Amino acid sequence: MQTVLQGKSVTFYQGFLMARGNFQPKDFGVDMTREDFTDQMVDEFGNAFKGELTIDELLLRPRSAINFCDSVRAKFGYYDLPDDIILRVILTRRKKPGS
């Protein structure tokens, strides 16, 4: 069964989902700047896959993506950090290498 969102619900969810790109690591208990956090996630991705997968390919393998995110949380103790934030910063760096 599909549910159709109307009015305020649509506006709320659009704002909520779009705002996920505008976060600070401290929002999730990570005591780093956003730039340092992004560097750490990109480095961890590089170490985990050593050029065997791109972030785009990882996103096409949901189980592998979940395992990667779980390993990041376990390694660094970022237990409140959602999968989409981990993956989003790596994806954003790929799209904007200078940022």
Using a pLDDT cut of 90, give the percent of the chain over it: 68
| pLDDT surpassing 60 at residue 3 | no
The answer to whether the predicted template modeling score (pTM) of the entire model surpasses 0.85 is no
Q: In angstroms, what CA-CA distances link 57 with 4, 60, 61, 88?
A: 31, 5, 7, 14
Whole-angstrom distance, CA of residue 7 vs CA of residue 21:
23
Instruction: Give me the residue label for tokens 């401290």.
Output: 26
pLDDT tens digit sequence for 24-67: 999 999 999 999 999 999 999 999 999 999 999 999 999 999 99
Q: b/e per residue, 55-80, with b = 16+ CB within 10 A?
A: beebeeeeeebeebbeebbeeeebee
Query: Nearest CA to 91 among 45, 52, 34, 29?
Result: 45
Looking at every residue in the chain, the average pLDDT score rounds to: 85
| pLDDT surpassing 70 at residue 10 | no
Give the residue extent of every domain in the chain: 24-95
Whole-angstrom distance, CA of residue 57 vs CA of residue 47:
16
Q: Which residues, including other chains, have CB under 8 Å from residue 72's CB and lie 6 or more apart?
A: 41, 44, 78, 81, 86
Q: What is the pLDDT of residue 93?
A: 86
